[in-house]
Amino acid sequence: MRIAPAHSARSLFVAGAICVMMLAVIRFPQPWAYQMVPPMVYPKIKPRYNIHICVPCYNEPSDIVFATCESALALRHEWAYVKVYMLDDGRNVDREKKCINMGQERLVYLARNKFPGVPIHGKAGNINSALKFNIFAKKVPKDNDIIVIFDADMKAHPNFLQHVLPYLEEDAQTAIVQTPQHFFNVDHTGDVFNHQNSTFFFGVQTGLDAWRATVCCGTNFCVRAAPLSAVGWFPTESITEDFLLSLKLTASGWHCRYHGAVLTTGEAPEDLRQIFKQRSRWCTGCFQVFFQVETFMWVRQLPAIQMLCYFNAIMGYLSTIICFPVFLIVPVVSVYTKTHPVK
């Protein structure tokens, strides 16, 4: 069977055009934004938010985990009372002792129980255990209960709450406010693995925000506890619980917002195996959401434009599957058949 390079090139062009058109629709309302300013709100009554900052950790170095917790403890806002929870999935006794010896009543050490044969669901299960069996074990989440998630190596800047809380005060339907990720150990001029992902955080996410369909990234965000509880806390049906959470909240009528300003600084993985493991998890999780029956039922509830916004998450992977073989095959066939796709 003879492969026609011209036909392959046209197929490649069509696939690329579809991807570009999807991005154009998504990004058109707000194509690019950097160092955004939070909305100005003037509440008649002074708000009172209970901020529950969760720092899930496992086998990370203790000095990094404590540095993250200390930066979280330093967060202040006139509307908020801040409490920090170190969610240690590795149950490190030394960490627990250090938390106790610090004498800081706003820092709580939690380590969940694990039972043989019972799925633990990784990070999502760790956070859910703390929320369901400790933080909200004896009370129902209220509208002023806010959950903030920082990964173990993500140190918050002092102005984090000043930037995200106005979104929650401005619109009672806002459930999530996501902020970008930034890494101190990545050189912008040599970011081979695209850790900073500037196009996504300052281009795509800003467009998704215009449609109130921001993608949650698992860290550096706040979420209202009441709607989080209503959708069953952090999803465990997908290994990318953050992406599915934002989709569930959007499908339930809530707004997922994005604030394009760097408010945290973290450490990017440098080990090649960890990098590929991380990217593989992102890819697998996105496809799980769209091709599992129990998760696709949420996709069906989305309005058309928001469905397009979330479908964009897997278009990058799909276009790669289509384009990569073509990029390999077309030059070879072109050389041997002397038929050129572009003349």
Q: What is the mean pLDDT of each run of 10 residues along the chain (343 residues)?
A: 52 60 59 78 92 95 96 96 95 92 94 90 95 95 96 96 96 96 74 65 84 91 97 91 93 94 87 78 81 80 84 76 74 77 64
Distance (Å, whole) CA 227 – CA 173: 10
pTM score, whole prediction: 0.86
In terms of Cα–Cα distance, which of 12, 14, 16 is closest to 330? 12
What are the residue ranges of helices labelled H in 131-224? 160-170, 198-199, 205-210
Distance (Å, whole) CA 317 – CA 81: 42
- What's the pLDDT at 328? 79
Pairing between strand 80-88 and 107-110? parallel
Residues contacting 285, CB < 8 A, separation 6+: 238, 239, 240, 241, 243, 244
- What's the pLDDT at 295? 77
- What's the pLDDT at 222? 97
- Tally helices (H) and strands (E) across the chain: 12, 9
